[in-house]
Structure 1
Amino acid sequence: MTGGEIAALIAAIAFAVLVLGLVYVLFKVAKMVSELNTTVEEANKSLSTITKDADLLLIEVEGLLNKSNVTLDDVNGKLGLTDPLFKAVGDLGESVSSLNHSTRNLSSHLASVSKRGASIGIAKKVGSTMSRDRRK
């Protein structure tokens, strides 16, 4: 064998080793691509399931929000009906305050009349005091 043949043989063996290495790498890449395809398919299935579940949840949430709005409108309507009650209670408070003021005025007036020793009847004094308070 000549030097050229030995060099060609070494080159052929090196090329065969290189080809075998590339074949090994290609098989590994093919296996990895296959696993990647499986993972992508599972992810797509999971995403599809999650999307369906999310759609169902959104429909239920929308129904709950609608019911909440109806309930809130009902509560607001019922609270609106209590406004006259609170107005009446406020008017009653003003009336009681006015009555207390009139009673104080009557008491102080009667006390001053009794101190002066006036002989005017109590009924007349009460009537005039009440009519004067009404004019105010």
Structure 2
Amino acid sequence: MTGGEIAALIAAVAFAALVVFLIIVLLKVSKVIGEVQTTVNEANKSISILTKDADSLLIEVEGLLNKSNATLDDVNGKLGKTDPVFKAIGDLGATVSSLNDSTRNLTTHVTGATKKTAQAGMVSKMGKTAVNMNKKRKNKKEHV
């Protein structure tokens, strides 16, 4: 065997090894691609189920929101009907406050008038007492 034949034999063995390695790699890649395909199919099924469930939930949520809006409109309407009651209560409170002020002023005036009347009564009693004492003194002088 000559040097050229040995080189050709080495090249043929190397090429055969390369082909075997590529076959092994391609088989593993094929297996991985098969698993990826299985995973993608399962993911598509899951997405399909989730989409159907989400659609069902969205329909139910929409129904609940419509009912909530109707209830809220009803509550707002009923609260609107109570506004005059609260306005009347506020007006009544203002009126009671005004009445309290008027009563306080009247009480102050009556108390002031009572004090003046009491003072006038005291002066009158003091004057009568002084007159009576003066009469008694005169009477004593006349008897003595």
Same fold (TM over 0.5): yes
In structure 2, the partner of 1:103 is 103
**CA distance in 2 between partners of 1:111 and 1:39 (Å):** 98
**CA distance in 2 between partners of 1:8 and 1:98 (Å):** 123
Counterpart AA for 2:104:
R
**CA distance in 2 between partners of 1:56 and 1:107 (Å):** 74
In structure 2, the partner of 1:45 is 45
**Greater Cα shift, 92-101 or 79-88:** 92-101
Correspondence list, 1:56-67, <5 A: 56-67=56-67
SS at match of 1:82: helix
Question: How does the TM-score come out when normalised to structure 1?
Answer: 0.74
In structure 1, the partner of 2:23 is 23
In structure 2, the partner of 1:94 is 94
Greater relative contact order structure (CA < 8 Å, 6+ sep): 1
**Superposition RMSD on alpha carbons, in Å?**
2.1
In structure 1, the partner of 2:74 is 74
Paired positions, count: 118
In structure 2, the partner of 1:120 is none
Q: 1:9 offset after TM fit, Å?
A: 2.1
**CA distance in 1 between partners of 2:25 and 2:64 (Å):** 57
Q: 1:18 to 1:110 in 2, by over 3 A?
A: closer
The superposition leaves residues 4-49 of structure 1 with CA deviations (integer Å, 9 ceiling, x where unpaired) of 3332222222211111111111111111111111111111111111
**CA distance in 2 between partners of 1:75 and 1:102 (Å):** 40
**CA distance in 1 between partners of 2:99 and 2:5 (Å):** 133
Percent identity, aligned pairs only? 71
* Over 6 Å off, 4+ runs: none
The superposition leaves residues 29-77 of structure 1 with CA deviations (integer Å, 9 ceiling, x where unpaired) of 1111111111111111111111111122212221111111111111111
**Greater Cα shift, 26-35 or 53-62:** 53-62
